[in-house]
Amino acid sequence: MPKISDTLWELAAAEVHNRVSGASEDEGEGNGDAPSPYERTVFFLGNKTGGKTTVMLRCLDRDEAAKPTLALEYTFGRRARGHNTPKDIAHFWELGGGTSLSDLIQIPITAQNVRTLSVVLVLDLSKPNALWGTVERLLQAVQAKVDGVLSKLQKTGERRSDRNPTLNSTPQHLHKDHPDRELISPFPVPLLMVGSKYDIFQDFESEKRKVVSKTLRFLAHYHGASLIFTSNKSESLMSKTKGLVAHLAFGTDRGKIVSTDHSKPLIIPAGMDSLSQIGSPPTTDIDISSLHARNPLDLWKKVFERVFPPESTGDLKELRNPARDPQFREAQIDSMRSQKDQELEQYKRNSSKSWKGMDLDAEPRGQRS
């Protein structure tokens, strides 16, 4: 009997499984209670060179060196939930270039996967000045796309919300008596915020660490996200990060460890924090009343950017072209490209000279008296 929560793909997979199970039972080897496989999509994005690829490879148990991500890349992972059961599939997308290639966010988010989509936002803790801008621009771009897809589904009359309520409107992480249910703005899909390069961040001044940690706690709680600090030099932290990603990708247990001590790596699953525990924005020489904030999110932003002024975005347009990005340099290819560019310029100059040398004032043939 189909369940209300089944998607079309799950129903099809269940039908195939039932047929295979029926054939196996006839041979005395069947297991009619085996679960049907699931497919989920996990979208990695965040700071440029912030460690997205490293986190993703570790979560896929791939022992290979991370390479710079060019634009948008795809891979997948599979995991069985038990013995002799179909393997669940997780589709992994990774956006390169930080915020400079945010237009590509449109590609991995579709009507077919939006209900099983999760986002992993990797933030480079060693570059706090780029932190708020990265969070703001990338999450706004993802939310706009998700909202657009859902709006189209509603207009076309597809009742996916009735068939598959796996779209996580984060209040599910907050119990009905949680005091912050009406004070946060949940992200439309499950969100995990990963603070990378903790090995560098831990050497920051105590007050700066506190500002970054409290701000990320607020942002994560405000968006209904999980938060973890990690480092590729710590097996323990990478293992905990892998567990949270596996929860999104394969539905495994996300764990119950909670760490809110700002002097240690933060580990806070969604719904396990509160505004009262986070406290007010960490200000020392700033008069909050003078900031004229429109809402709590705007207040935290103004306080954070007083401590860590945002980076200039003047170079972002140049980096939208990967050919200009120094991390993708290839000596032989760049040399050939330079040669071709010179040939093109020479061709343009020669063409210009030939046009100038033409006698444009001469009378056309057939018009002489």
Residue 145: inside a domain: yes
The pLDDT tens digits for 104-158 are 999 999 999 999 999 999 999 999 999 999 999 999 999 999 999 999 888 886 6
The pLDDT tens digits for 327-366 are 566 777 878 888 888 888 888 787 776 666 655 555 555 5
Q: What is the CATH number of the domain that holds 48?
A: 3.40.50.300
The pLDDT tens digits for 93-109 are 999 888 888 889 999 99
The pLDDT tens digits for 309-331 are 997 654 444 445 556 666 566 77
> CB under 8 Å to 289, separation ≥6 — which residues?
none
> CB under 8 Å to 105, separation ≥6 — which residues?
45, 95, 138, 141, 142, 145
Residue 345: inside a domain: no
How much is the pLDDT for 318? 44
Residue 236: inside a domain: yes
Domain that holds residue 282: 39-154+169-307
d(CA 207, CA 211): 6
Residue 320: inside a domain: no
pLDDT tier at 168, thresholds 50, 70, 90: very low
Residue 46: inside a domain: yes
- Quote the number of domains for the chain: 1
Q: Please state, rounded to an integer, the average pLDDT across all residues of the chain.
A: 80
How much is the pLDDT for 158? 60
d(CA 86, CA 335): 50
Using the Cα atoms of residue 135, residue 253, residue 114 and residue 153 in order, give the sign of their dihedral. Answer: negative
Decide which of 103 and 283 is more confident.
Answer: 103
What's the pTM?
A: 0.74
pLDDT tier at 160, thresholds 50, 70, 90: very low
Residue 343: inside a domain: no
Residue 347: inside a domain: no
How much is the pLDDT for 363? 53
d(CA 305, CA 218): 15
pLDDT exceeds 60 at position 21: no
For residues 228-252, give the mean pLDDT: 93
3-state secondary structure of 95: strand
Residue 321: inside a domain: no
Percentage above 70 pLDDT, the chain: 74
The pLDDT tens digits for 42-72 are 999 999 888 899 889 888 888 787 787 778 9
How much is the pLDDT for 197? 95
Q: How far is CA 83 from CA 16, 31, 87, 315, 338, in A?
A: 18, 11, 10, 52, 57
